[in-house]
Structure 1
Amino acid sequence: MTTEPSVSETEMSPAVTDTLDFSVVICAYTERRWEALIEAVESLERQTVPPREVIVVIDHNEALLQRALERFRDLSVPVAVIENHQERGLSGARNSGVAAASAAIIAFLDDDAAADERWLEFTRDAFLDERVMGVGATIDLDWQGPAPQWFPAEFNWTVGGTYRGMPTSRAPVRNLIGAAMAIRGSLLKGSEGFRSVLGRTDAVKLPLGGEETELCIRLKQRHPANHFVYEPRANVKHKVTLDRATWRYFTRRCYAEGLSKAHMSRLVGKQDGLSSERAYVLQALPSGVLRGVRDTVFKRDLHGLGRSAAIVLGLLATATGFLVGSKAPKNTTTTTTTAATTVP
């Protein structure tokens, strides 16, 4: 995401804020994240601005569906547990949640994330500007063990977190990060929604993504006078399991991102599809490499060189994925392109 001129604060009007209610959609597909899912729902019970409803969408998992129906009864906020009635995968599950939502703002929270109690409050504040189509949050990484010292903050996006180089105050951005985001319901219901060709599925182990980026770009193209904003005061914590703290996962995730960017660029055009990436590659990554070297030279942090090396490797892996994806036949989807390179 790229910083644009800052958005001025808008005074809060009770009449306006009363109409800015929230449906929060949480998509879940596996019982392996059961405890995290409970934490995600419970974090919504503690919001200073309570959601109108929480919608837990179970993605084609009957055992998980029954377990969730039993667990999420009689909570302090209304919780609806529904099935994904569309194609298996994150995009289909999100679209099922959108169809069931009734509030003015539809927020999305990952099933392995927990929201700070003021997440919806700060998110609502940003929506007071009627030009704002959607709002993103600060997503802090909650490593489920020691964080790898070689892991560069510039690549936090590989595990669903806010990365170094993003704005430090509220600012317009090209797209939101899907782990915690909110979009006006009228825009979502008036569009084709999330495209499943880009959404992740449990069947493909190589992590794919880009569906929220493509949606944001598509909405911006249709509403050029409006924009998305990043609100760093809105905060969530995103769990990161140690199986993602490996060089193997890191490089494959970067490669998959390149594949997804190539396919997304076909859908929305290279100018919009790669606008943020140009600034990121030319500014954030070179600064990160130099920072790692300085850390090693001046602070005697040997892991600094590892972080610099990871930035270079991550860029190369992403560029390779993009080139491979760009040369694939136009009728080949990102999912089928990567099916042969799944992680065991």
Structure 2
Amino acid sequence: MTGRHAARPTASVVICVYTEDRWTDILAAVDSVRAQSRRALETLLVVDHNPALLDRLGKEYKETAGVRVLANAGPRGLSAGRNTGIAASVGEIIAFLDDDAVAERDWLRHFTNGYADPRVMAVGGRTEPIWASGRRPAWFPAEFDWVVGCTYEGLPRGMVRVRNVLGGNASFRRAAFDIAGGFATGIGRDGDKRPLGCEETELCIRLARARPDAVLLIDDRAVIHHRVPAGRERFAYFRTRTYAEGLSKALVARSVGADKGLESERAYTTRVLPAGVARGLRDFVLARPGGAGRAGAIVAGVATAAGGYVLGSWRARGSGAAFSVAEIGRDPQEAAEAPEAGAAA
């Protein structure tokens, strides 16, 4: 091994899991990590409060070197699961892979190569969708691929500096967590409940504040392929997810301030989305399939996310400092039906 290769940091991979419904996907995710050209020091499967899955995975990987199965040591949810993995891991770099995704062979190599500069605190990658129907729904705009956890139209290409990486395909230097702490447990997902997010955004902003010279990168050669189930190809899920994103952004803005919390979103809504609407309308005029649907979905997505943000901001202000997803997480229909009931999780 040359000195150049020896200088590469060691890497642990954390995969957070929560349901046996994804059993085949989980095994595929682990297999993709074990097949990396740059070997991981270890793969940690963190099970989110599911004893049956914990036991089954423990038996599956009992004799497998380099794979550890452990229970989420914190409250239910993705953020606490990631924090459990961080605490238990030993690598200098900690990479995160979704449990329904597979990584390309050089994924981890591109991640670890990105840390040659000691100022680099995080490196993210590109996430491509695997549509359950076999192809992208004609109405589904690429500008909203973040709805299904994938890289969306408008993100810069190549290796570029960014405000935040995207959590399902990301890596962090261990020192980043020493500097900024872990993922906020009041922001991200909780199993199959409301599809909130943005916990990685909040963490990255916190990290940049604590370490102003920190560099966060996306290298789009670090590719994973993410399954999109049939239910997430429907407009009903699109609406739910965009609304939840507005709620999540309200939480982030409350935590780190609206200037930083919405910095990237302003450019996205003023440049990327209008261009997407224009393309959709052009395709409609040219009688290309889905043009009007894509333009309409962009407009609807913006409106729904904005509604979630406004309502989330109002509820966060009303709840004072100790706000949480549970306090602001109802959508307008739920609020109208049961205005005095407990918020949906």
Match of 1:317 in 2: 304
User: CA separation in 1, counterparts of 2:344 and 2:258?
Assistant: 29
Name the TM-score, length of structure 2 as normaliser.
Answer: 0.92
| 2:44 paired with 1:45 | no
CA drift of 1:179 comes to: 1.0
Structure 2 portions without partners, runs of 5+: 335-342
Query: 8 Å contact 2:93–2:172 — kept in the other structure?
Result: yes
CA drift of 1:297 comes to: 2.0
User: CA separation in 2, counterparts of 1:294 and 1:16?
Assistant: 51
| 2:194 paired with 1:176 | no
1:130-149 to 2 correspondences below 5 Å: 130-146=118-134, 147-149=136-138
| 2:288 paired with 1:301 | yes
CA drift of 1:271 comes to: 0.9
Structure 1 portions without partners, runs of 5+: 1-11
| 2:19 paired with 1:30 | yes
Query: 8 Å contact 2:180–2:210 — kept in the other structure?
Result: no
Identify the match of residue 128 of structure 1 among 101, 116, 119.
Answer: 116
Match of 1:215 in 2: 203
Match of 1:8 in 2: none
1:157-306 to 2 correspondences below 5 Å: 157-202=146-191, 205-298=193-286, 300-306=287-293
User: CA separation in 1, counterparts of 2:225 and 2:291?
Assistant: 25
User: CA separation in 2, counterparts of 1:134 and 1:335?
Assistant: 29
SS in 2 for 1:127: coil
Identify the match of residue 71 of structure 2 among 83, 97, 100.
Answer: 83
User: CA separation in 2, counterparts of 1:283 and 1:343?
Assistant: 34
User: CA separation in 2, counterparts of 1:292 and 1:155?
Assistant: 13
Query: 8 Å contact 2:132–2:227 — kept in the other structure?
Result: yes
What whole-Å deviation, never above 9, does each CA across 1:211-265 have from its counterpart, x for those lacking one?
A: 1110011001111111210100110001110101111110111011001101110
Match of 1:13 in 2: 4
User: CA separation in 1, counterparts of 2:131 and 2:179?
Assistant: 37
Higher relative contact order (CA closer than 8 Å, sequence separation 6+): 1
CA drift of 1:15 comes to: 4.0
Instruction: Output the amino acid matched with 2:125.
Output: A
CA drift of 1:296 comes to: 2.1
Match of 1:59 in 2: 48
Q: CA RMSD in A?
A: 1.7
SS in 2 for 1:107: strand
User: CA separation in 2, counterparts of 1:64 and 1:339?
Assistant: 29
Name the TM-score, length of structure 1 as normaliser.
Answer: 0.92
SS in 1 for 2:63: coil
SS in 1 for 2:7: helix
What whole-Å deviation, never above 9, does each CA across 1:135-183 have from its counterpart, x for those lacking one?
A: 1111000112243110000000011000000111110011111111000
| 2:108 paired with 1:117 | no
Match of 2:314 in 1: 327
Query: 8 Å contact 1:198–1:335 — kept in the other structure?
Result: no
Query: 8 Å contact 2:161–2:218 — kept in the other structure?
Result: yes
User: CA separation in 2, counterparts of 1:336 and 1:38?
Assistant: 36
CA drift of 1:343 comes to: 9.0
Identity %: 42
Query: 8 Å contact 1:148–1:245 — kept in the other structure?
Result: yes
Runs of 4+ in 1 over 6 A off after TM superposition: none
Match of 2:88 in 1: 100
User: CA separation in 2, counterparts of 1:197 and 1:97?
Assistant: 18
Instruction: Output the amino acid matched with 1:241.
Output: P
Instruction: Output the amino acid matched with 1:312.
Output: V
User: CA separation in 2, counterparts of 1:255 and 1:106?
Assistant: 30
SS in 1 for 2:329: helix
User: CA separation in 2, counterparts of 1:339 and 1:256?
Assistant: 9
User: CA separation in 2, counterparts of 1:230 and 1:80?
Assistant: 28
User: CA separation in 2, counterparts of 1:302 and 1:309?
Assistant: 13
Instruction: Output the amino acid matched with 1:184.
Output: R
CA drift of 1:294 comes to: 1.5
Q: How many residues align?
A: 328
CA drift of 1:315 comes to: 0.3
Query: 8 Å contact 1:65–1:83 — kept in the other structure?
Result: yes
User: CA separation in 2, counterparts of 1:80 and 1:104?
Assistant: 17
Query: 8 Å contact 1:98–1:189 — kept in the other structure?
Result: no
CA drift of 1:14 comes to: 2.9
